[in-house]
Amino acid sequence: MAPLLTHAKPGLRASRLAWMIALAFGTLAMASLSGCASMTAGSAAASGTVKTADAGGQQDEDDADQAPDGSSAARRGGPDSSGPGGSYRPENLPNVALTPPLLAKILAAEIGLQRQQLSTSYSTYQDLAIRTRDARLARRATEIALTGRAFEQALASAQLWSELDPASIESQQTLETLQLATGRLKDVEPALARRLGKAREQGTLDESYLQLQRTLSRIQDRKEGWAMLQRLSQPDRDVVSARLARAAVAASADQKEAAAAEATAALKLAPKNSTAAVAAAQYTQELPDGGPRAAALLKGYLEKSPDDQAVRLALGRLYLSDNKLKEASDTLRIALKSDPQNPQVLYSLAQTSYQAKDAVQAENYLKRFVALPESVPRENGPAYLFLSQIAEEGDRIADAIDWLEKIQGGELYISAVAKRAQLLARNGQLEQARSLLQETTPRNQRERHALVSAEAHALREAGRNQESFDLLDQVVSKDPNTPDLLYDHAMAAERIDQIPVMEKSLRKLIELRPDSAHAYNALGYTLADRNQRLPEALELIQKAMTLMPADPQIIDSLGWVYYRMGDIPNALKYLREAYEAKPDVEVAAHFGEVLWTSGARDEAMKVWREASGREPKNEVLRGTLARLNVSL
């Protein structure tokens, strides 16, 4: 009998399930606890530094052909990319012939994948796996479910796969990860305990705890994950990697005190371990008034190990995040003196200088950053964006465009293209901007939408509001389930006074993304601004407030709807709060109007003059002043 799938034509690019789970579950690796870690425990500090902005990009999860390491599945090839099931061959293959009807079903499932009919393809493979008892078909069904992020279906297939091929480490690891992803912690805990037991025998606890940390930090019920890890790691409380894993998982579960205590315990176990020192400082900083204690911890470490530049960098970043710019600069300069080609130090010094309003010095550090030898590992994209921003703020638009042109790939490429188009349009080169956007090849749907949004923005900036709306409407009409464009579509409709269209798009966005605070806010504000359905407008804006309580734009909307409802005290309360948080010109226009109406006209004039000094041609401000017959 011929084995199944020998002649099956590949459809969806097959890949290692570790990669599939990385895309679906949002992790960089499976919850493997037996030596498939890609990092050592000692490198855990790379993601555990004292928090601050840094150079780097974020992988686009929608890019289904992009592997976590940045390579494409097709280029990587390898034994697992040869088609359904790859070269994976379980030990006990069933004695089932690859008959024409069976082959036809497999081919139909693969064609369905090409057409994005994931549900049908999954059902076909899962049904075939149950009927034939072939583990490869169960594995393929698992892959398909993960592609569509259908974790419950993936779990069912993984359970069957594990049953059909119990000797497969991959099937067991996949099942465990999916049990974690779907909240079956009690089901997976015994298996994890066994794996940790083997790791103790084999001396691989550091790798095991790192992998467990990374997985538990991403599951839905993180508090229960934290509780489970405490039970699992009870025998290893004197192991540094266990304590660091406990700290990270506690932090992900918002157990800040526990996170700081666990990392501090790790440092006590290994006083010369820089990873533990940085983690202890990071989590201590998160506590109320924890900044000074975190700084003291790192300074104490440096007194004993003054040559540890990783810890000195962490101290500099801590000062930077606490806005202690002189301390940050002094600390980072010492680090740079010891290591003049350290890209992280140079970038952090650029951030420090920029926050200190010294754009020239920031630019100098960034130029040194991008001029480092190719042998120095770093990502230049964020530095080019930073340099472009500084040039734009200095009204050097040509320089800003030149810096953006240097970004020719990677995760920042589409953002750079969109920004270039925006600058070109602002510079009066609208058609050149549109050509740039139209000639750029997107890698996935999200990037396609970003390019459309950028072109619509360029048209809007040129005052061509109808064309901006038409462009967005054409895309949204073909696919109304495009949350990335629905907000832009709604705002474009509002600008041409198509309020029913605007409301329809915002309500569709709310349906697709119920946590979209800005969708609730935009709809509520538009109703309030037009003095329509004010109780409903208030309800929408209050919903936005529950989702993003500190957002100045939403606070401004709340003040504005209260003003429309005649509640001047509440209007002043919220508009003052919004203006103090973000003295935006449009917020100033609203705040000034309520002040003016309430009789505080001197304060209103002061607010308006400050806003006019920043943006004298702002349409909202000018319209407000004209309507109130006020001259500055």
222, pLDDT greater than 70? yes
User: How far is 273 from 521, CA to CA, in rounded Å?
Assistant: 48
Integer CA distances (angstroms), 65 to 19, 60, 71, 77, 163, in order: 10, 10, 9, 12, 29
Residue 33 scores a pLDDT above 70:
no
What is the C-alpha to C-alpha distance for residues 12 and 4, in angstroms, rounded to an integer?
18
Q: Is the pLDDT of residue 85 over 80?
A: no
- According to DSSP H, which parts of 217-255 are helical? 222-232, 240-252
Distance CA 230, CA 240 (A): 14
- Secondary structure (3-state) at 35: coil
Say which DSSP state 236 is in: G
Q: What is the CA radius of gyration of the chain?
A: 28
* pLDDT above 90 as % of the chain: 68
Q: Residue 48 in contact with residue 267, Cβ under 8 Å?
A: no
- List of residues 6+ apart from 138 with CB closer than 8 A: 125, 126, 129, 157, 158, 160, 161, 164
Is 72 in a helix, a strand, or coil? strand
User: Is 4 a residue whose pLDDT tops 70?
Assistant: no
Residue 66 phi/psi, 5° resolution?
Answer: -105, 125
**CB–CB of 109/116 below 8 Å?**
no
Is the model's pLDDT at 64 over the cut of 60?
no
- Tell if the pTM clears 0.85, that is, is over it: no
Confirm if 384 and 56 have CB atoms less than 8 A apart.
no
185 or 560, greater pLDDT: 560
Q: What percent of the chain has pLDDT over 70?
A: 86
Query: Higher confidence at residue 545 or residue 172?
Result: 545
The rounded distance, in Å, linking the Cα atoms of 166 and 173 is 11
CB crowding 223-249: b at 16 or more within 10 Å, else e: eebbebbeebbeebeebbbbbbbbbbb
Please give the Cα distance from 81 to 402 (Å, whole number): 40
**Domains of the chain as residue ranges with CATH:** 1-31+92-182 (1.25.40), 465-514 (no CATH)
User: How high is the pLDDT of residue 479?
Assistant: 87
- Euclidean distance between CA atoms 81 and 112, whole angstroms: 19
| Mean pLDDT computed over every residue of the chain | 85
List, in order, residues 6 or more apart from 387 with CB less than 8 Å away: 363, 366, 367, 370, 403
What are the Cα distances from residue 503, in Å, to 95, 163, 393, 466?
59, 51, 35, 17
What residue type is assigned to position 80 of the chain?
D
What pLDDT is recorded for position 150?
Answer: 87
Determine the straight-line distance between the first and last CA of the chain, rounded to whole angstroms: 90
Residue 399: both structure tokens together: 């320089």
The confidence score (pLDDT) of residue 87 equals 65
Kindly report which listed range (210-219, 271-280, 328-337, 599-608) carries the lowest average pLDDT score: 210-219
For residue 570, which amino acid is it?
N
Label residue 293 by pLDDT band (50, 70, 90): very high
DSSP string, 254-277: T-HHHHHHHHHHHHHH-TT-HHHH
Residue 92 has pLDDT above 60, yes or no: yes
- Residue 151 pLDDT: 86
Residue 146 and residue 20 in contact, taking contact as beta carbons nearer than 8 Å? yes
pLDDT digits 0-9 by tens, 117-153: 888 889 999 999 999 999 999 999 999 998 888 888 9
527/535 Cα distance (integer angstroms): 10
Question: What tokens were used for 393?
Answer: 């703020």
pLDDT tens for 195-207 read 899 999 999 999 9
Predicted pLDDT at 253: 94
Contact 319, 351 (CB under 8 A): no
Q: Which residues of 537-563 are buried (b: 16+ CB within 10 A; e: fewer)?
A: bbebbebbbebbeebbbbbbbbbbbbb
66 pairs with which residues across the strands? 72
* DSSP classification of residue 59: -
Could you tell me the pLDDT band of residue 220, with boundaries at 50, 70 and 90? confident
384-412 pLDDT tens trace: 999 999 999 999 999 999 999 999 988 99
Any idea what DSSP says for residue 618? -
* Dist CA 562 CA 547 (whole Å): 19
* CA quadruple 95, 98, 100, 106: dihedral, nearest 10: 120
Phi, psi at 606, each rounded to 5°: -60, -45
| Distance between CA atoms of residues 308 and 297, nearest Å | 14
Asked whether residue 31 carries a pLDDT value surpassing 60, the answer given is: no
Alpha carbon 245 to chain centroid, angstroms:
22
Phi, psi of 72 (to 5 degrees): -95, 150
**Which pLDDT band holds residue 461 (cuts at 50, 70, 90)?**
confident
Q: Measuring CA to CA, which residue among 182, 196, 140, 184 is closest to residue 12?
A: 140
Place of tokens 């974790």: 151
**Residue 17 and residue 20: Cα distance in Å, rounded?**
5
Quote the CA–CA distance of 455 and 146 in Å, as a whole number.
Answer: 33
pLDDT at 417: 97
Output the pLDDT for position 37: 27
